[in-house]
Chain A
């Protein structure tokens, strides 16, 4: 790219590009997020405790997340799950953060006892006939 070698001369007769009207953003979507995702987790890629299944349900029953010493993303999670069971996958999609990051944040929140997490039904105990029938009926009614 042919840019002015040293000084910019707006009145110059040389074919310099006109300066942009507004300062251009030096970053854009293609450059990726301004804050790298794992910066929010202090570089940790695995949660402190156990791994969270994608469909593990998270509920928060802390009255006011604003008062708690948690980061903005963790605060957002608490707000979302306030008396409202959401799966790990839904939380990640809702706050638009990668799953890995969300899991680390959830690990911290669980350790601080700000959330409760219910594990999904283990494969060996797949739901009984009644529940499957209920699912089928529910699907029919969609």
Chain B
């Protein structure tokens, strides 16, 4: 252990786990991105369908609830023995919003993958993270044969806050995926620092 930390009465180094979400429309490359930077594994969750209809239908007293299986992708990047980053690919379909709430809890930040041919597909994800104050970057997955847009153009089209980063990427390549994540962690750090400052001031 670093001598700089020794006076801070560190009894036992806690194991740290950070969560990053990868969101975006169907087929935009979420699985590809998670897979390019980490070992990827599918995760099944069996969710109660009624959760999706909460607030819509009064289901009080209904004993028989139906469940549905939702598959997500997740990967783990081990930074050191006691520090890991977990990536979760959020389910693309809108009806699984209720899962996002859980996923977003305590998340360090999110990557919203965008395809410029179907930019509207990522609107829900942008809205979601904006409303919850979760730091996110928009990563434009450059599909072959698509017109190149400048980050500013994408930012304007998505009506993003001025400092929300927009990066171009190729989700298939590890180096590109890494860059996206680094951008996110840096940005999340800035957002976090700004919030701490605001609390103090």
Same complex for A and B? Answer: yes
CB within 8 Å of B: which residues of A?
37-38, 45, 53-57, 85, 87, 89-90, 92-94, 96-101, 118, 120-123, 126-127, 129, 131-136, 138-140, 142
CA distance A127 to B84 in the complex (A): 12
Closest approach, in angstroms, between the C-beta of A136 and any C-beta of chain B?
A: 5
Contact residues in A for B41 (Cβ distance below 8 Å):
90, 93-94
Instruction: Determine if B83 and A37 form an interchain contact, defined as CB atoms under 8 angstroms apart.
Output: no
> How far, in angstroms, from A122 to B48 measured CA to CA in the complex?
26
A residues in contact with B74, CB < 8 Å: 89-90, 93
Q: Which of B17, B102, B105, B193 contacts A129 (CB 8 A)?
A: B193
A99 touches B45 (CB 8 A): yes
Which residues on the A side are within 8 Å of B77 (C-beta)? 138-139, 142
Once A37-B46, A45-B48, A93-B41 are accepted as A-B contacts, the answer to whether A120 and B106 lie under 8 Å apart by CB is yes
B160 at interface (Cβ–Cβ under 8 A)? no
Complex formed: what's the CA distance from A134 to B189 in Å? 12
Would B69 and A98 count as touching, CB distance under 8 A? yes
CB distance from B37 to the nearest CB of A (A): 7
- A87 and B46 contact, Cβ closer than 8 Å, known pairs A54-B86, A129-B189, A135-B18: no
Cβ–Cβ < 8 Å partners of B150 in chain A: none
Residue of B nearest to A138 (CB): B79
Chain B residues in 8 Å Cβ range of A122: 106
For the complex, would chain B's binding face be called helix, strand, loop or mixed by DSSP majority?
Answer: strand
Contacts of B192 in A (CB 8 A): 126, 132
Does the CB pair B44–A99 fall under 8 Å? yes
Which residues of B in the span 1-59 have a Cβ within 8 Å of any Cβ on A? Answer: 14-19, 37, 41-48
Complex: A129 Cα to B194 Cα, angstroms:
12
B166 interface hit (Cβ, 8 Å): no
Specify which of A87, A133, A142 is in contact with B37 (CB 8 Å cutoff).
A142
Q: In the assembled complex, which residues on chain B have CB atoms less than 8 Å from the CB atom of A100?
A: 45-47, 67
In the bound complex, how far is the Cα of B109 from the Cα of A123, in angstroms? 10
- Nearest B residue to A137 via CB reads B79
Assembly CA distance A92 to B74 (angstroms): 11
- Please measure, in the bound complex, the distance between the C-alpha atom of A132 and the C-alpha atom of B189, giving whole angstroms: 7
8 Å CB interface, B52-79 against A = 67, 69, 74, 76-77, 79
B186: Cβ under 8 A from any A Cβ? yes
Instruction: Tell me, rounded to whole Å, the shortest Cβ–Cβ distance linking A141 to chain B.
Output: 9
Name A140's contact: one of B69, B76, B182, B188 (CB within 8 Å): B182
